[in-house]
Amino acid sequence: MTIFWIAKAFSPWQRSLRPSRNSVTDQQPWLTFSAIDKIESIINEQMHVFEYGSGGSTLFWSNHVKEVISVEHDRNWYNRVRTELDAQQIKNVRYILAEAETDPGYSGKQTDNPNDFISGDRNFAGKDFNKYVRQIDNYPDEYFDIVLVDGRARPSCIARSMNKVKKDGFLIIDNSERDYYLRKIVFDENEWKQYLFAGAVPYIFHFSETTLLKKINSSGR
**107-138 pLDDT tens trace:** 999 999 999 999 999 999 999 999 999 999 99
**Structure confidence at residue 5 (pLDDT):** 52
- In a domain, residue 66? The reply is yes
Contact 129, 119 (CB under 8 A): yes
CA 99 to chain centre: 17
What is the CATH classification number for the domain harbouring 103? 3.40.50.150
| Contacts for 194 with CB less than 8 Å, ≥ 6 apart | 187, 211, 212, 213, 214
- In a domain, residue 168? The reply is yes
What's the N-to-C CA distance of the chain in angstroms? 24
- In a domain, residue 2? The reply is no
- In a domain, residue 149? The reply is yes
- Interval 86-99 mean pLDDT: 98
Comparing 112 with 3, the larger pLDDT belongs to 112
**10-27 pLDDT tens trace:** 777 677 678 888 889 989
Comparing 203 with 138, the larger pLDDT belongs to 138
- Residue 205 confidence class, pLDDT cut points 50, 70, 90: confident
**Structure confidence at residue 4 (pLDDT):** 55
Whether 204 shows a pLDDT value over 80: the answer reads no
Whether 221 shows a pLDDT value over 50: the answer reads no
- Residue 203 confidence class, pLDDT cut points 50, 70, 90: confident
Structural domain total, the chain:
1
- In a domain, residue 82? The reply is yes
**Structure confidence at residue 21 (pLDDT):** 84
3-state SS, residue 207: coil
Element (H, E) at 172: strand 165-174
**166-195 pLDDT tens trace:** 999 999 999 999 999 999 999 999 999 999
Whether 97 shows a pLDDT value over 80: the answer reads yes
**Structure confidence at residue 10 (pLDDT):** 76
- In a domain, residue 177? The reply is yes
Domain that residue 183 falls in: 23-215
